[in-house]
Structure 1
Amino acid sequence: MNPVPPLRRLPLALALATALPLAAHADPAIQSHDHAPVDLDAVEVKATPLADDAEHLMRPVDVLAGEKLDDAKANSLGETVAKLPGVQSSYFGPGVGRPTIRGLDGARVQVLSDGLGTGDVSTVSVDHAVSVEPFLAEQIEVLKGPATLLYGSGAIGGAVNVVDGRVPERTTAEPLQGRAELRGGTVNDEKTGMVRLDGTSSDGRWVFHVDALHRETGDYDIPGYAESEHAHEEEHHDGDDDDHDHDEHEEEGAFGTLPNSAIRTDAGAFGLSWVGERGFLGASASLYSTRYGVPGHSHGEEEDHDHGHDDDDHDDDHDHDEANAHEEGVTIVMDQRRYEVRGGLDDIGPFASLKAKMAHTDYTHTEYEGDEVGTVFHSTSTEARLEALHSPIAGWDGAFGLQWAQRDFEAIGDEAFVPGSETRDVGLFWIGQRDFDPVRVELGARYDRNSIGVDGATRVVNNAEVAFPDNDFDTFSASAALRWDISDDFHLSFGLDRAQRSPVAEELYSSGLHVATGSVELGDPTLDVETANRAEIGLHWHSGPFKLGASLYQARFDDFIYLADTGVDDGGPVYLWTQEDARFTGGEVEGTWTFAQNASGLWDLTVFGDIVDAELTGSGTRDVDISVPHGDHSHDYTVTLERSGALPRIAPARVGGSLDWSLGAWRASLGAIRYMEQDDVAANETPTPGYTLVDAHLAWHIDTASGGSWEVFVDGSNLLDEEARVHTSFLKDLAPLPGRGFAFGIRSYF
């Protein structure tokens, strides 16, 4: 069987191919498109109730929109934002990539869809994809540093808000407008088509939104072997057999193409709103369905490397069938249905505006081992949020907020390493700001009550069955920020935060083999709340053709929750969720110089760099008793954990830059990023070599008489065809990044 077998094709690609020329010849009276470059500093950030642009927002933020977003779009959200300063991707193959912000990821980085949680379970396991499609986004906002004040404990490391506009909040500029794109790719035989339409009825009261996307890719090309030399030496090391050497690696190892790395994704939505003079009320329904391989993983070891598909001739040979199933590896089918209701009303007594939104999500994630269903994860979640922007109180503009969420989660199968759970969370917050010219101050506070129940689930400890306890947590977060406008061209910002995060179900209750990481994962039901105290200073300067931004920060964590390598191997390396004090220290800098604007075009040079150092700050060692479950009994160990040293999978330092040019209908860029060697590693973690990724973009667009425009583009990635292994990834020794590739296509705006 193919890792990602042929599936029913949507007629979307054909529909898009038809829609593009129709759009270009539509009625000129209803066409409008302005494809001028977007000033990202002037883009309004929607992730905060106190609306402001990226230039004036006091908390550190980066925004992707317009041409910058078009050039950055990738198959996963993590890869789309991975070139922003301080942001990288967890990368678990091309189908999975969660943003890593300043060295923090997973349950510490909240992914949002227009201000509400996505409802997926991407934090439960590193092989679970985020259910957000970057190609359908209007803009993507990255809040760096704690965003717990706005979005609760799951945002202690930051938040990524994907603005898609699926529930319209205002009328469109023209009765009908939209965009469409067809693209192909060489490195993975990509075929992607998308379309988005927004329109307003003739009476100006009803506004609708429609979007759809279909993507198919094959296994992607790699510069060399899928398996790193280190992984090969570990796997084939045998003191009694010297024949298992690098020659065997060359004969048997995957080379040139990464097996089981294909993707198929379908996404779509319909939204409808009534818009009045003082407010709006609308709803939307959306789906996200994807099937992707998990490269580098199979559920067993086998010596049979026959790639044929003639199992009918071997029905009596169970071992052969099992070997083929193992060789096919693991594929994941994910399906999500989401329903949203949103409304807003202006000028209500003491409130300048009230906004309410609610989303209900049904999510299913099925892991296939060959043809067989392995484990099924199902989650049903509901989240509601109310924001009330109040009139000035003693000179303070501000907003009250109430957030409520619940999630019912279950995992079914022999490899369900996390028991089913019910999570409930209620949060109340206030955020306000006041001008003391030339200083502006922002203050905020939030309280959350979080409850997790496990419905009587049990685990085996010291050969006895023990019930998991239910847990309740109270967290409190507060922040203060100051912006000092020293001049029109130069300002400083200061931030202080105290943020708390309650443990999540996988940290508390994991107990068994976690196939995605090839390890045994053990939770600790006695984990306590973790607390981060952060200080940050930033500067922003612009003068004429120069622009510079920089920041330095340090976050000190009390009771930081992390996954420790115990050094025990019992059906796989054994990892334990545990706590220790930790410190994150880092900085980011980005500068742009517009060094020419003449007959040769507009030329910009941008350079950036980022670094983060993360380490445990305890002293000495401590002994911990652990129990590895094996059916109705356990293997019990006493392990010794270091209380100091580097934390695992911390993003390496980077420096990069790009040269951007535009002239008339043309624009182009050439960029490079150097990822440094990461040799500051945790116990039992291996260093990762450095690498350089070079990319280029070329686009030509033309405005039509109807008011729209067309754009033809070619994008090149990893132009040096360099072997690149992502240190933040559990798959770094099994799945390098794609090799040299080119994406090409056509966009239409109307």
Structure 2
Amino acid sequence: MPFTLHLPAPTLALALSAALFPAATLAAPVDAGSPAAATAAAIPAAAGDSADGGTPPPSDSRHAEAAGAGRHVKDLDSVVVTASPLRDTAAELSKPTDVLAGERLDENRASSLGETISSIPGVQSSNFGPGVGRPILRGLDGPRVEVLSGGMSSADASTVSQDHSPAIEPFLADQIEVLKGPSTLLYGTGAIGGVVNVVDGRIPEHAIDGGFSGRAEMRFSGGDQDGTTGMVRVDGGNERFALHADAVYRNARDYDTPEGRQANSFIDTRSGAIGGSLLGDWGFVGVSASRFEDDYGNPGEAGDLANGERGVYLQLRQDRYELKGGLTDLWGAGSGLRYSVGHTDYRHVEFEGDAPGTVFDKTASEGRVEASYDAGNGWKGAVGVQGSDSTFAAVGEEAFVPKTATRELGVFGVARRSWEEFQLDLGARIDQVESDPEDLESRDFKPMSLSIAGGWKINARWRLTASFDHSERAPAEEELFANGPHLATLAYEIGNTGLDKEAANQFEAGVQYRSGFVDAKVSAYYNRFRNFIHLVDTGEQWHFDEQDEPLPIREWSQRDATFRGLEGEATFHLADGDRGRWDLRVFGDTVRASLADGGGNVPRIAPSRLGAQLRWESSGWRASLGATRYAKQDKVAANETATAGYTLVDAHAAYHFDSGRFGWELFVDGSNLGDQVARVHTSFLKDVVALPGRSFNAGVRVFF
């Protein structure tokens, strides 16, 4: 049965954790094989052991044996990437992969998933106000970027329209994995541009030594933003079972910009889950149930409160149920079988004033099985099957897509051969996709994907990688069957039932360098699309009677296109002495996307960026100061407006200390300290919506 989560005021989160779980129960060293252990081993401590000589909380990634190893940054390349069926670390993969965890994740957590990971090279965010931010990978977004929760589709409606929020809560993530470039081999046609996987641990996979751990956070926003966020997570159990519970509450009022108040930009979010697993040497099996509730305004339709007219706002509700399991060493050491099943009930209502307008409903079920093996002669790999069945329906004025049932089934295999200096990765996948709309003819597609990649470790410092991918994508429901006014894009959209599948051939080359002074990596890619699906402005208009205004008519069409780009980052370890550890991180990315045969530029492509951050850590203290320059974007499509460049300055400061079995962290973060007018070029609302001005977050984290 669906359940409704009503959280108390967020200030109770910390009090509940302290009252319900006394310090005497908190000695719980982390299981050496768990993801938490992998993260902790990869992240040097910001402080020493507990002040009273006790064991640090296992949830506290600030403690690690690597603290004195001479590294000055969080070495996230050694964190296990769970989105890979071979359970690789980021450093072992031949394709570009980034992981956010530990302190860096804490400093970047935001109300949306896209904003949280936007500091990663090649990753930016869509924007429809602070309530909506879907990841954009190398200029690709929407149905080309798969958003996963624990390796399974988020199963929301965020790909249908840019004003729809992903049903993901970044404050609950243990780590966020970003697989840039085609990932259709593992996750199907919706991953032709990449994958973002949020790992939340709601179904425990490992025993919790000592029986208990958790974390909680409370933060307050000030300056041009005004709001509060509170979260709490607890895990407990023994060698045979483990239980999990989490909850988040967020409330933010309309924010200010350097040009004034951004009306109707409020957020009110509640999320929570419970889960449990049976554990043993044989593996694990567990279940979870979660609820996500999100109310947020559409600043593009702000209304006029002075005249009693409330703006358009959205009310999102999602119930999700999952079963996951794994069996170890079925066919010898290094082999295993993992399986997962999920069901989601999703609904969001778009209110116009106090009257409900369009209702979007989606029910989805998904199943996945992966079998991994180690042949013992240098080859290892995995084979799997994945299937899903979903029904999407929209009722109301903005029901521009008919009720559509979509069924997908795919089989895949990946293999790797390793030598001392060389690594070869191969993979293939074939899918069957059927879209069956109400009162229209159904469409069937058979996308196929192939990949070959390799790495060459020249010596202890240098590593070269290269990959070639052929990926195919079946058109999404709105691209095929849309026919009606889509107010989020301020247009009348017309689908094209004759669309063919989209295909992309991408070549990528990368170089990595690691030494005691610098860690650096750079990637260059060239992606040629055949039958790239995009919206074309027909030059005609449709009169919207309700608002007595014309809307441009846009039609989904296909044309060959080329995406080419460059991205990289480097961290310089400047000093490590009595005055602390100093690091300088620089990063940048650029992407150019154009349509073939004189078709001009692909619309809403993210601008080039260049950023730097200076970081200092010493005796529990850490601080950083950074700036990111977003270039002007004037390489625009027909009838698309350009955006000016801007520079965002941010700063972070925190103090970490231990008290008994608790780890405490006091923090303050600042954003847009230069109070710049910043407009997100990827947004349909860029001409009317600006980012918040100078803002601050302050709060406390506790680990237990």
By the TM > 0.5 criterion, same fold?
Answer: yes
Shift of 1:8: 11
* Secondary structure of 2:446 counterpart: strand
Shift of 1:14: 4.4
Per the alignment, residue 289 of structure 1 pairs with: 293
Alpha-carbon RMSD across the aligned residues, in angstroms, is 1.6
- Give distance in 2, aligned partners of 1:338 and 1:9: 17
- Give distance in 1, aligned partners of 2:347 and 2:606: 30
Per the alignment, residue 96 of structure 1 pairs with: 132
Per the alignment, residue 329 of structure 1 pairs with: 311
Per the alignment, residue 53 of structure 1 pairs with: 89
Provide closer, same or farther for how the CA distance between residues 283 and 680 of structure 1 changes in structure 2, counting only shifts above 3 A.
same
Shift of 1:17: 3.4
CA contact (8 A) 2:5 2:270 kept: no
Per the alignment, residue 34 of structure 2 pairs with: none
* Secondary structure of 1:55 counterpart: helix
Written as runs of structure 1 = structure 2, the 5 A alignment for 1:253-292 is 256-292=260-296
Q: What is the TM-score normalised by the length of structure 2?
A: 0.91
Q: State the number of aligned residues.
A: 653
1:511 has 2:466 as partner:
no
Written as runs of structure 1 = structure 2, the 5 A alignment for 1:564-603 is 564-571=536-543, 572-603=551-582
CA contact (8 A) 2:5 2:271 kept: no
Shift of 1:28: 5.1
Per-residue displacement from partner, 1:690-740 (whole Å, max 9, x unpaired)? Answer: 00000000000101232x310000000000010000000011011101111
CA contact (8 A) 2:26 2:213 kept: no
Per-residue displacement from partner, 1:156-195 (whole Å, max 9, x unpaired)? Answer: 0000000001011111233110100001101332111100
- Give distance in 1, aligned partners of 2:505 and 2:136: 19
CA contact (8 A) 2:398 2:486 kept: yes
Per-residue displacement from partner, 1:118-177 (whole Å, max 9, x unpaired)? Answer: 110100111110000000000000000000000001000000000001011111233110
Written as runs of structure 1 = structure 2, the 5 A alignment for 1:52-131 is 52-131=88-167
- Give distance in 1, aligned partners of 2:668 and 2:365: 41
CA contact (8 A) 2:86 2:381 kept: yes
Per the alignment, residue 348 of structure 1 pairs with: 330
CA contact (8 A) 1:24 1:704 kept: no
Shift of 1:211: 0.4
Provide closer, same or farther for how the CA distance between residues 698 and 149 of structure 1 changes in structure 2, counting only shifts above 3 A.
same
Shift of 1:21: 3.9
185, 196, 199: which is aligned to 2:236? Answer: 199
* Secondary structure of 1:618 counterpart: coil
- Give distance in 2, aligned partners of 1:161 and 1:62: 11
Shift of 1:12: 5.2
- Give distance in 2, aligned partners of 1:699 and 1:205: 37
CA contact (8 A) 1:271 1:282 kept: yes
- Give distance in 2, aligned partners of 1:528 and 1:394: 42
Q: What is the TM-score normalised by the length of structure 1?
A: 0.85
CA contact (8 A) 2:571 2:583 kept: yes
Provide closer, same or farther for how the CA distance between residues 27 and 444 of structure 1 changes in structure 2, counting only shifts above 3 A.
same
Counterpart residue type for residue 483 of structure 2:
S
| The 10-residue stretch of structure 1 (536-545 or 35-44) with the greater mean CA deviation from structure 2 | 35-44
Per-residue displacement from partner, 1:321-356 (whole Å, max 9, x unpaired)? Answer: xxx4xx312100000000000111122247811000
Shift of 1:395: 4.1
* Secondary structure of 2:167 counterpart: coil
- Give distance in 1, aligned partners of 2:75 and 2:379: 29
Shift of 1:9: 6.7
Shift of 1:587: 0.5
Provide closer, same or farther for how the CA distance between residues 14 and 674 of structure 1 changes in structure 2, counting only shifts above 3 A.
closer
Per the alignment, residue 589 of structure 2 pairs with: 610
Written as runs of structure 1 = structure 2, the 5 A alignment for 1:288-687 is 288-297=292-301, 307=306, 324=308, 327-349=309-331, 352-392=335-375, 395-456=378-439, 468-571=440-543, 572-619=551-598, 644-687=599-642
Shift of 1:24: 7.0
Per the alignment, residue 253 of structure 2 pairs with: 218
- Give distance in 2, aligned partners of 1:646 and 1:512: 26
- Give distance in 1, aligned partners of 2:179 and 2:208: 28
Shift of 1:568: 1.9
Task: Report which of the two structures shows the higher radius of gyration computed on alpha carbons.
Answer: 1
CA contact (8 A) 2:457 2:463 kept: yes
- Give distance in 2, aligned partners of 1:587 and 1:406: 37
- Give distance in 1, aligned partners of 2:214 and 2:354: 41
Per the alignment, residue 132 of structure 1 pairs with: 168
- Give distance in 1, aligned partners of 2:673 and 2:460: 41
Q: What stretches of structure 1 of length at least 5 have no aligned partner?
A: 1-6, 225-255, 300-304, 309-323, 457-467, 620-643
Per-residue displacement from partner, 1:573-612 (whole Å, max 9, x unpaired)? Answer: 1111100000000010111111111111100001111000
CA contact (8 A) 1:102 1:586 kept: yes
Provide closer, same or farther for how the CA distance between residues 545 and 306 of structure 1 changes in structure 2, counting only shifts above 3 A.
closer
Counterpart residue type for residue 731 of structure 1:
L
144, 166, 169: which is aligned to 2:202? Answer: 166
* Secondary structure of 1:44 counterpart: coil
Provide closer, same or farther for how the CA distance between residues 306 and 450 of structure 1 changes in structure 2, counting only shifts above 3 A.
closer
Per the alignment, residue 250 of structure 1 pairs with: none
Counterpart residue type for residue 508 of structure 1:
L
